[in-house]
Structure 1
């Protein structure tokens, strides 16, 4: 008699067909790539389930992305889950806060092998082979898009003499950029005596081990630069003795990456281009995703600082050319944070340097400027679609810092263009 582990893929926060959130995605080809990436990541998860011959797929909420989801999304989802059903693989889904907004999450007819948990906690008992413990899958869906209180008391106790797997959409104790949803603590989850808690909601992967293994798998595909880094699903194996083993499986079609290049000390444009190539090659080698979407930031004191700002379009063209040479890299945006060398700034004189000093010491630090900047930003923010308003920050302090950052960047860009118009060299006289 062969006793095998119960194996499943755990994923969450797929946000199928999520609308693009970044204003920086102005390249139509790049927009098409990212626009279809959540579907391709989900298909990769289905392929993974089939190739690994798992017993089940567990989706811990936010399969959809709210009320924007269309019936095209529904048909795609039904087709992919149908592939699993044909392979004899069961699917267990709970609704998260975004799913609760979706009309099709209530109307879509799913294959018989799919269990979509409702708004009342329940469990499904999976009988296995002779000598193997059954598996109890516990789940509870969000009935509304908010859940300010813990949902844990609604779950039933662990089924005796069974492997117990709980599925919950929760913010745990809270995380930056996430509102509180069904809050509970890892200690409370551990106290249930379950073998495994399959969580969703927080987009960054986290694993908590102990008597109960608790996993937040993160999202399988990032959608903008604020969801950068590798994305994956988790392959879970639970043995008869309750021991749990985990494998992180890459799923993203495109990985967002922040690449920082220290241009300090560089004085020749060719050297800057070489530094670009080196950084792009390193980032491409480090990423397992088929495509890499890079935001490149330049830092450091360099005599090229003014020219980089003045010729930002040429620098972007240089970056895109180097990315094309490296292969499978898209440059999403450049951020130029370089400054002229300190000795150059302090030793130089002239109208532009006087203007720079006035901006830094007399304007950017004044209450009147802060008030005017706030009014302009508030007006602009109010005209943005709701899903883009967090671009200015998610709270008062972050918003104030972001406004000032943009103001300083704008001042540097204006000074660089004035420098170009003055007809002098790459640095002010």
Structure 2
């Protein structure tokens, strides 16, 4: 059995401008502690796979020490970690995903189209993509169908289901249903929701 965690939108180094200075300082401290707390949870609960669906940083030019602390925490995880950069922490020149050394257990999607990363030992295939600019009008999932090859296919994307405007990887429900994915891990919407099912695909 595969045990995994799906998370997104840490927004590390956010200014929390809507809060009072004291509240903002407390939230920044809590957000800095989050990766270490997550690493401890992963190791204590025998998690195999960590899916991080973008906007881990509040901007594509985050503080270097913040990125190094995240890298160190992810490296402590006794799990494989996959990251799909989002619209805030998009992959490009100056990005912490390029300027910081990431541990061997961390795999970062780098292309503005679906890429495939295989984990043969688990009979698992990961499909993911990266924002390479602050907006992504074309849906990454459009036209995609995972092969029916007996493997477990999981998608990892930063995007929005049926948005009112196509700016941040618009994903249609019918595309999810036709994808052939067992699970689709999404980021972008800052609200926890119960998993949804479209066709044979569970997504959250």
Cross-structure match for 1:208: 196
Give the counterpart of 2:90 among 100, 105, 116: 100
Over residues 102-155 of structure 1, what are the superposed CA-to-partner deviations in whole Å (9 max), with x where a residue is unaligned?
Answer: 632221110111110111422122123xxxx60111111111111012111375
Cross-structure match for 1:197: 184
Cross-structure match for 1:90: 80
* Pair 167,154 (structure 1): closer, same or farther in 2 beyond 3 Å: farther
* Pair 31,145 (structure 1): closer, same or farther in 2 beyond 3 Å: closer
Over residues 285-340 of structure 1, what are the superposed CA-to-partner deviations in whole Å (9 max), with x where a residue is unaligned?
Answer: xxxxxxxxxxxxxxxxxxxxxxxxxxxxxxxxxxxxxxxxxxxxxxxxxxxxxxxx
Cross-structure match for 1:171: 160
Cross-structure match for 1:143: 132
Which runs of 5 or more residues in structure 2 are unaligned? Answer: none
* Pair 155,95 (structure 1): closer, same or farther in 2 beyond 3 Å: farther
| Alpha-carbon offset, residue 41 of structure 1 | 2.3
Over residues 219-244 of structure 1, what are the superposed CA-to-partner deviations in whole Å (9 max), with x where a residue is unaligned?
Answer: xxxxxxxxxxxxxxxxxxxxxxxxxx
- Any residues of structure 2 matched to 1:34-53 within 5 Å, and which? 34-53=27-46
TM-score between both structures, scaled by the size of structure 1: 0.44
* Pair 111,80 (structure 1): closer, same or farther in 2 beyond 3 Å: same
Q: Are residue 158 (structure 1) and residue 147 (structure 2) matched?
A: yes
Report if the CA contact (8 A) 1:186-1:214 is conserved: no
Report if the CA contact (8 A) 1:158-1:192 is conserved: no
Report if the CA contact (8 A) 2:55-2:85 is conserved: yes
Give distance in 2, aligned partners of 1:192 and 1:106.
Answer: 30
> Across the two proteins, how many residue pairs are aligned to each other?
199
Give distance in 1, aligned partners of 2:166 and 2:41.
Answer: 31
Cross-structure match for 2:110: 118
Report if the CA contact (8 A) 2:61-2:96 is conserved: no
Cross-structure match for 1:10: 6
- Any residues of structure 2 matched to 1:228-243 within 5 Å, and which? none
* Pair 66,116 (structure 1): closer, same or farther in 2 beyond 3 Å: same
Over residues 146-205 of structure 1, what are the superposed CA-to-partner deviations in whole Å (9 max), with x where a residue is unaligned?
Answer: 101211137563351101100111121127xx9731112222112111100001111112
Give distance in 1, aligned partners of 2:105 and 2:67.
Answer: 16
Name the structure where helix makes up a greater proportion of residues: 1
Give the counterpart of 1:109 among 96, 101, 105: 101
| Alpha-carbon offset, residue 6 of structure 1 | 1.1
Give distance in 2, aligned partners of 1:19 and 1:31.
Answer: 7
Runs of 4+ that moved beyond 6 A: none
* Pair 209,155 (structure 1): closer, same or farther in 2 beyond 3 Å: closer
